Structure 1
């Protein structure tokens, strides 16, 4: 079977109906708590999941993915396919038909020009767009008429659903962002904090790393939605406090990403105020290895860039040794229980794209020691820390502040200590770590450490754009305002060529083979990414919040327009 034949059989589905519901805003106020506070409302200027989640209340793509991973239209009338004429027979273009009479929250008309502008904004060579991989292979975007836009690709694209599909690639208003192209993008504070959108809510006040006040979009396309008139999106704190606020006290209606031990969640749930929601998708907790030198002794602008290879971790034997020392099954048991599965992969699902790479699942301390010996790292003075050419085998290991992650850090430090690696631990507020501020030294993109741990995932069920984010040109650097998802600055021309091959391959079986090979190049072939845990998504809703459908293939707030208050 080819992806082209799959497109031929694709069908469009629609959003939940609002029949019988009262008028917009009838259910009053709703409270959300995200213990990682958003620092911006523009998903194109951050790699942080928390920002994409918040922005999805306001900004929408042409199409989204539902809870089953199926494509559904949002601002488009239907999902383009070969069958309906939306995808060209040669697979080199995709044409989107926009719903008529759409307006932005400021009352101005939405048009194909906004769609084209969004592509220009992200693809600008000086813009540092964090979602550039979504536009991989795009040659041009053509406005056919006010309600029709065509994306042209340089080569056939069997999977043409990167641009404008899913919560990572929404449409921004051309009028609002007209003066924000290229290097000016981070300077547009008003637009980045309070974007004008087509979504169910609009921003009334944005306080970075704290709280967002929102209200119902008066121009939302469904007059019966959203059911909530106002929303408070509280950020900050920790996962424990967020869980308690929904499950124990009922102070909040929804809590995202409860990265807590399973017994802690069960105890909270016993209070009876709410329920925990969980589902597996593509979220992998992993360790990223920095291939560049983050030393503060280097000049700013050269630190953690390709100009200076890492003095220790450029040796693959050291990276493999770090992986072998880790007991992933114990990490799962302590951190996630049934909501986690040990993995060596970056792409754990769907099954068609998941490598059978299991080499890392069995801890091998002696094998790790042998690799370090082979690499010339020995304990010359008997202090328990290996050294080489007068340099200690010492690493700075950073992650966000979270109880589970700090438990993982402590265990990994212990295991690395057993093989002679000295480890300094650092944890940074999640709001800062995932914030994407180009002026901050503490973001995960800037990566001023030797190794770091976090998790993210991709829209939908096809990993093409996600894997494409690891090509050479996606490395964060000063010229890109430190945006980009190639965090470890991995650069292999063979990988880049294989990404191009994936982009033009239609056969589903072959696409799976290529994706698995790309995954393995990052993991077991080079050990630049050390997969740890395939994490189930765990969030919570109050007993009085209806309409919530936990979505692991898009943003969790993908259907916030359908949420309502359950009457007790």
Structure 2
């Protein structure tokens, strides 16, 4: 089938002249396999996505009692624009909302927007240079202040200011947000922008509480710890690393929602105890991010008190190699972006590490249903998946590469060159499954002559954004580290910016830059810039796949496995969870049957 025919069919879907089902049928009739046809669908859904994807039909607001959520990583902050860990983002979404978000099927649905913009309704400009957002009327902040276009504009100004040092800066830095009237704003782009929804996926902040704290004083805002949002729950309490509590918002803008009278996110413990508290003892209604060996989970499910949910998405567990030097200070900063790692910039060492990762064993013996081995960082939907197979698991080849590079075994079996030992520090969060993955990799590297020291940091510290701590993932003061990278939405455009040179994490941006491995690659930067403005979906997909191949082939990272979002739910709990956004994105729709 010719590319021109695919583009014509895509345009028909965007204009409303062709349904998504009709699109697939047309491409299948032209000889394209159905899965490939489905993978080419545009990001915006049909009318059902604009109405929300919930099957919940409430008869009244509240009455559901207390909703008890267990997060084995306790939330530490409640400003979504500083939240680098998903547990903090999940807590923020009890109180704050974006204009739109993704449902389980990867379709957009409106929250603070009245509708999802499209070519058909005139919201998306045909030249790709602007998107007009109509805001939902009658929405108020929790303190009674009306929500207006001024809040959307102020959030843009706040997040794009480099001195504010937000984690969301990349989504706002290159756009202009203009107020059209009290309930209309327009996002304007410097160039044609295929991923026009990016900034609209981040929660809106109240102008009257945050505008005065834009810039260098951003961390001093009282509302950073006492949120005032538009969401289904109003803030009651935050004990950092321990719990967050909220109560039903009686003026919530979605009629007859939420179902529950209160919600508590309790932090602490570990993934196994969290799973047990839902599936076996029934103490909690929901447990987040269940990273537990699958055979254990199957036994817990036998009690009948709960079930597991596997939400498809694009999350990837991967090994990161530090390209900066974490052991030498440059102007008082370790792992400064201008420094160079003394060992990991050598291709032979990076290639050897990649060859020592045994994905098949990790999947088969540890993750089971909760993970699928992947040599690619960019996974799911299929239209963005590379055909790259990766180097595979080959310890003999790893040893040969090290030998050829001059790394010879010493008396204790550890390789040396010019008196320098091949020794690396490997860190991750405290989690039984991750510690077992660490153990497997240490066994493999030991046999190959690499000494691996293991470090595990409490998750609430490891995934925090505390600039005073040296144990955070964003500072990355180690040689190697491993965790899951979550992806917000099926379109991976902004996701892949995390390896661009302008996103380097450093002291100057309070370590909020997303490029924590401090990798620099000119071809990668050029390709990302090209993908940013490529409006042809077929060519853009090819560019995004090229980004995956560049970072993986260079050995800057080593993907381990793709992970669906795994949650434990009480037997009666109905919770529409999407793997394309934070699990609490549709918490207003949660209910007990």
Structure-2-length-normalised TM-score = 0.91
Describe the SS at the equivalent of 1:164: helix
The equivalent residue for 2:179 is 143
The equivalent residue for 2:366 is 335
Alignment of 1:159-178 (within 5 A): 159-165=195-201, 169-178=202-211
Alignment of 1:480-519 (within 5 A): 480-519=509-548
Equivalent of residue 533 in structure 1, options 541, 561, 574:
561
C-alpha distance in structure 2 between counterparts of 1:179 and 1:493, whole Å: 38
The equivalent residue for 1:153 is 189
Which stretch has the larger CA shift, 286-295 or 117-126?
Answer: 117-126
- How far is the alpha carbon of 1:300 from its aligned partner? 6.9
Alignment of 1:166-565 (within 5 A): 169-188=202-221, 190-295=222-327, 297-298=328-329, 301-360=332-391, 362-379=392-409, 381-524=410-553, 526-546=554-574, 548-565=575-592
Describe the SS at the equivalent of 1:521: helix
C-alpha distance in structure 2 between counterparts of 1:20 and 1:355, whole Å: 41
Describe the SS at the equivalent of 2:96: coil
C-alpha distance in structure 2 between counterparts of 1:470 and 1:375, whole Å: 27
C-alpha distance in structure 2 between counterparts of 1:300 and 1:270, whole Å: 57
C-alpha distance in structure 2 between counterparts of 1:543 and 1:487, whole Å: 40
C-alpha distance in structure 2 between counterparts of 1:419 and 1:186, whole Å: 46
- The structure that is helix-richer by fraction is 2
The equivalent residue for 2:3 is none
C-alpha distance in structure 2 between counterparts of 1:557 and 1:80, whole Å: 23
- How far is the alpha carbon of 1:316 from its aligned partner? 2.1
The equivalent residue for 1:8 is 15
C-alpha distance in structure 2 between counterparts of 1:368 and 1:384, whole Å: 15
- How far is the alpha carbon of 1:373 from its aligned partner? 2.3
CA contact (8 A) 2:154 2:207 kept: yes
CA contact (8 A) 2:330 2:336 kept: no
CA contact (8 A) 2:324 2:335 kept: yes
Give CA-to-partner distance per residue, 1:418-448, whole Å, 9 cap, x none. 1111000000111111111111111100001
CA contact (8 A) 1:129 1:483 kept: yes
The equivalent residue for 2:103 is 66
CA contact (8 A) 1:127 1:181 kept: yes
C-alpha distance in structure 2 between counterparts of 1:6 and 1:483, whole Å: 38
> Given the superposition, is the C-alpha separation of residues 373 and 128 from structure 1 closer, same or farther in structure 2, using an over 3 Å criterion?
farther
C-alpha distance in structure 2 between counterparts of 1:7 and 1:197, whole Å: 33
Give CA-to-partner distance per residue, 1:517-539, whole Å, 9 cap, x none. 00111112x11110001112211
> Given the superposition, is the C-alpha separation of residues 5 and 260 from structure 1 closer, same or farther in structure 2, using an over 3 Å criterion?
same
The equivalent residue for 2:20 is none
- How far is the alpha carbon of 1:53 from its aligned partner? 1.0
CA contact (8 A) 1:123 1:135 kept: yes
C-alpha distance in structure 2 between counterparts of 1:250 and 1:103, whole Å: 36
Give CA-to-partner distance per residue, 1:482-529, whole Å, 9 cap, x none. 1122110112222122111111112221111101100111112x1111
C-alpha distance in structure 2 between counterparts of 1:355 and 1:97, whole Å: 37
C-alpha distance in structure 2 between counterparts of 1:389 and 1:42, whole Å: 49
CA contact (8 A) 1:105 1:218 kept: no
Between 1 and 2, higher relative CO (CA 8 Å, sep ≥ 6) is seen in 1
C-alpha distance in structure 1 between counterparts of 2:213 and 2:297, whole Å: 43
Describe the SS at the equivalent of 2:538: helix
- How far is the alpha carbon of 1:236 from its aligned partner? 1.2
- How far is the alpha carbon of 1:319 from its aligned partner? 0.8
CA contact (8 A) 1:324 1:364 kept: yes
CA contact (8 A) 2:487 2:580 kept: yes
- How far is the alpha carbon of 1:31 from its aligned partner? 0.3
Which stretch has the larger CA shift, 127-136 or 66-75?
Answer: 127-136
Structure-1-length-normalised TM-score = 0.95
- How far is the alpha carbon of 1:136 from its aligned partner? 5.8
- How far is the alpha carbon of 1:128 from its aligned partner? 2.0
C-alpha distance in structure 1 between counterparts of 2:102 and 2:173, whole Å: 19
Describe the SS at the equivalent of 2:187: strand
> Given the superposition, is the C-alpha separation of residues 551 and 317 from structure 1 closer, same or farther in structure 2, using an over 3 Å criterion?
same
C-alpha distance in structure 2 between counterparts of 1:18 and 1:467, whole Å: 33
CA contact (8 A) 2:462 2:471 kept: yes
> Given the superposition, is the C-alpha separation of residues 44 and 489 from structure 1 closer, same or farther in structure 2, using an over 3 Å criterion?
same
- How far is the alpha carbon of 1:16 from its aligned partner? 5.8
Question: How many residue pairs were aligned?
Answer: 556
> Given the superposition, is the C-alpha separation of residues 266 and 385 from structure 1 closer, same or farther in structure 2, using an over 3 Å criterion?
same
CA contact (8 A) 1:133 1:469 kept: no
Moved over 3 A (4+): 1-7, 9-12, 16-20
Gaps of 5+ in 1: none
